[in-house]
Amino acid sequence: MTAPFNRIAVYCGSATPADPGYIDLARKVGDALARKGIGVVYGGGKVGLMGAVADGALEAGGEVIGVIPDALEGHELSHKGCTELHVVDTMHERKQMFTDLSDGFVTLPGGVGTMDELWEAVSWAQLGYHSSPVGLLNAFGFYDGLLEFNRKMAEVGFVREPHRGIIIDAETIEDLLDKMATAEPIKTVLQIRSEDL
């Protein structure tokens, strides 16, 4: 099945874990997206999982758009093989460009920066700043704890009922894309009556 996406923003770590499975996963994700004709929008780096996603997509003939802050570009961390490389002033501009250029989000394993990007995509979906599906690739059980925490927030009442399904998770990129392609639009905060908030 070819997912109905033109481009997907891929969030992932710039680190290279000791377990080579993570780099292999990122390369396979880039390859899979390219083979489905889906462009990759990502952080523009040449290292870690970010570089592997880009390399996988480029080697399969895919479009890769990197968005990197000038501070990181100055440290020679950018991937010069990207189809397009946008150098921006701030992290906020970077994340806004991810949203503007993409019609879906996929989060691979990563650290603090990856979490920042994921939660902003979720938060913006709740508020109606975008209507794109937010996917979480839970390979190797990496995000089991995060998914449990998200359930806990919902059980306590910090995640509203209409927003419980914003994070779409799967263990493979193929299953994740299929789930994202059939996801129903969520009711945003602005569509919920104030007395029900």
Q: What is the pLDDT of residues 31-52, one digit of tens each?
A: 999 999 999 999 999 999 999 9
Q: According to the model, what pLDDT value does residue 153 have?
A: 96
Mean pLDDT of 99-117: 97
Domains of the chain with CATH codes: 7-196 (3.40.50.450)
Phi, psi of 87 (to 5 degrees): -105, 120
pLDDT digits (tens, 9 = 90+) for 95-104: 999 999 999 9
Backbone region of residue 141 per phi and psi (left: phi > 0; alpha: psi in -120 to 50; beta: other values) = left
Distance (Å, whole) CA 115 – CA 185: 23
For residue 36, what are its two tokens? 């489905």
The pTM score is 0.93
Contact 80, 87 (CB under 8 A): no
Long-range interactions of 150-158: CB distance < 8 A, separation 24+ = none
